[in-house]
């Protein structure tokens, strides 16, 4: 494919990889503000290239990519009426928020997809502070790739910004990648690309930060800033680096961690990290946010431009974020033990799996668009993977027997990483999405304290669509 600019095709990253809009009928006004999903345009490619037709969320005028930031205090309500002005049904999932099952937006499990021209009311309490996001959860491989994602920021009840050792301000950085043609249009004929799905997924050739290619962000020398970094891609794992900025990790997937120094931050699809940085004081005017696109060569995706008088030198110690205080600790002594075995994909495959009520060989599965399986079943939505009594601790051992990593996401719950055989996780971290490498095993535990039917799936959305989707029940 022709590159869009010197940097827009990330080396090695692509190695793997006209409907009439219905008019919107009138419906009863629920009194909620509108979150509208509709076609829009965005300047994703560098200046000089055409704008890109996208699908986007809007709360006021035309939609924007990423969607408008939704920000509230922990304990407050998120209240929006989704209005679907798209040519396809859609739904909104509020990723990482431990909310009531009916508001999860996980079509078709917790609600029917919202047809074109209709609406759905979302109204729930956001109990936990942290960095989250919202995105389409119907035909997600296509709809998220077209732009339907935005940041959801839940602020701490206790003050943190401006306190001793904390940051003085924050920046939300929404990372995405886009598969664009030479005219900066989204390539639309690969939504069902089984070759990509059986490998690492649908990779883009243009990376954006907050909807822009290679933005430059202002920072003052010596200034301490909190970065809320969100990986909203469909499939790409993002190894990130912030050289010369003394990065320290303070939260993962919204949940605080004891501040720790990091050299490389690896974010799988849907994962988030809060990182504190200090503006450089060595008279250099520039620092960078770097991405390894998969070839071991770091590429700049955003710059930090230093200007102004240097601030007073800060202590190297970083103030921890306030503890949640709302998450029950797992009771491991009497936990319910479950397993999740991941199989399939290219270069290893699987002999057979259950799909649509019958056992099929790999060729028949592929003919039905299925190339991955959980516990010997592809896209098993007929019955739960497991059931847990409300309040019971579940220990889930997840083993990846494929040649590719997977980002496993549990809806409605955060979990503690108990043990792991790879380098992408640390024992004791609390997350909602965990990255599991090829031939790795990760054991997690969580208290099943949120009743309902909850999805568990790979957030490499190409993998989800082609078999890595299931659910569990808490009752």
Which residue, among 417, 424, 408, 420, has the nearest Cα to 456 in the 3D structure?
Answer: 408
Q: Centre a 10 Å sphere on the Cβ of residue 169 and count the other Cβ atoms it contains.
A: 12
For residue 371, which phi and psi values (nearest 5 degrees)? -135, 5
Answer yes or no: do 272 and 343 share one domain. Answer: no
* Residue 113 maps to a domain: yes
Answer yes or no: do 348 and 435 share one domain. Answer: yes
| CATH value at residue 26 | 2.60.40.420
**What 3-state DSSP class applies to 65?**
coil
Among candidate residues 306, 340, 365, the one where a domain is terminated: 306
Answer yes or no: do 192 and 126 share one domain. Answer: no
Answer yes or no: do 364 and 461 share one domain. Answer: yes
Task: Supply angle C-alpha 141, 97, 342, rounded to 5.
Answer: 50
Query: pLDDT tens string for the chain (475 positions)?
Result: 333 332 332 333 333 333 333 333 334 456 899 999 999 999 999 999 999 999 999 998 889 999 999 999 999 999 999 999 999 999 999 999 999 999 999 999 999 999 999 999 999 999 999 999 999 999 999 999 999 999 999 999 999 999 999 999 999 999 999 999 999 999 998 899 999 999 999 999 999 999 999 999 999 999 999 999 999 999 999 999 999 999 999 999 999 999 999 999 999 999 999 999 999 999 899 999 999 998 889 999 999 999 999 987 667 799 999 999 889 999 999 999 999 999 999 998 899 999 999 999 999 999 999 999 999 999 999 999 999 999 999 999 999 999 999 999 999 999 999 987 666 688 999 999 999 999 999 999 999 999 999 999 999 999 999 999 999 999 9
Answer yes or no: do 18 and 117 share one domain. Answer: yes
d(CA 78, CA 399): 36
* Residue 3 maps to a domain: no
Which residue, among 273, 172, 194, has the nearest Cα to 16 in the 3D structure?
Answer: 194
Quote the tokens at residue 462.
């190409």
* Residue 160 maps to a domain: no
Give the CA diameter of the chain: 69
Quote the tokens at residue 67.
């969607």
Which residues span the domain enclosing 421? 332-474
d(CA 305, CA 102): 44
Answer yes or no: do 175 and 206 share one domain. Answer: yes
d(CA 454, CA 272): 21
Burial 302-326 (b: 16+ CB within 10 A, else e): bbbebeeeeeeebeeebbebeebee
Q: Which pTM was predicted?
A: 0.93
For residue 142, which phi and psi values (nearest 5 degrees)? -90, -50
């Amino acid at each position: 494919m022709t590159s869009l600019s010197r940097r827009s095709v990330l080396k090695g990253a692509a190695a793997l990889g006209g409907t009439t809009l219905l008019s919107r009928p009138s419906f009863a006004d629920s009194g909620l503000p509108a979150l509208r999903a509709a076609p829009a345009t965005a300047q994703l490619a560098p200046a000089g290239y055409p704008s890109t037709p996208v699908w986007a969320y809007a709360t006021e005028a035309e939609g924007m990519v990423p969607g408008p930031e939704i920000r509230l205090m922990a304990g407050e309500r998120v209240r929006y009426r989704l209005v679907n002005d798209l040519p396809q049904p859609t739904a909104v999932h509020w990723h990482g928020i431990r909310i009531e099952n009916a508001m999860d937006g996980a079509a078709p499990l917790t609600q029917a997809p919202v047809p074109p021209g209709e609406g759905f009311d979302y109204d729930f309490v956001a109990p936990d502070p942290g960095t989250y996001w919202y995105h389409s959860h119907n035909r997600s491989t296509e709809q998220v790739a077209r732009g339907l994602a935005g940041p959801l920021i839940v602020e701490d009840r206790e003050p943190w910004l401006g306190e001793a050792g904390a940051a003085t301000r924050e920046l939300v950085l929404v990372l995405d990648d886009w598969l664009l043609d030479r005219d900066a249009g989204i390539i639309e004929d690969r939504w069902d690309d089984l070759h990509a799905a059986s490998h690492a997924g649908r990779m883009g050739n243009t990376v954006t930060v907050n909807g822009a290619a290679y933005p430059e962000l202002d920072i003052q020398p010596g200034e301490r800033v909190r970065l809320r970094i969100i990986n909203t891609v469909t499939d790409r794992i993002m190894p990130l680096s912030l050289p010369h900025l003394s990065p320290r990790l303070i939260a993962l997937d919204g949940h605080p961690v004891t501040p720790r120094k990091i050299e490389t931050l690896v974010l799988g699809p849907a994962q988030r990290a809060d990182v504190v940085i200090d503006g450089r004081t060595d008279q250099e005017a520039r620092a960078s946010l770097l991405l390894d696109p998969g070839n071991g060569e770091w590429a700049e995706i955003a710059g930090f431009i230093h200007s102004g008088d240097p601030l007073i030198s800060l202590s190297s110690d970083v103030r921890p974020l306030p503890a949640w205080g709302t998450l029950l600790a797992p009771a491991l002594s009497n936990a319910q033990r479950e397993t999740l075995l991941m199989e399939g994909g290219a270069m290893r495959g699987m002999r057979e799996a259950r799909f649509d009520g019958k056992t099929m060989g790999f060729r028949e599965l592929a003919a039905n668009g299925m190339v991955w399986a959980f516990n010997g079943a592809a896209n098993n939505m007929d019955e739960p993977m497991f059931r847990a009594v409300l309040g019971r601790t579940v220990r889930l051992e997840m083993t990846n027997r494929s040649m590719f990593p997977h980002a496993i996401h549990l809806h409605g719950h955060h979990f503690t990483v108990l043990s792991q055989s790879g380098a992408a996780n640390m024992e004791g971290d609390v997350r909602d999405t965990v990255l599991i490498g090829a031939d790795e095993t990760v054991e997690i535990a969580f208290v099943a304290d949120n009743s309902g039917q909850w999805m568990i799936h790979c957030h490499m959305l190409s993998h989800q669509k082609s078999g890595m989707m299931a659910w569990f029940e808490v009752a």
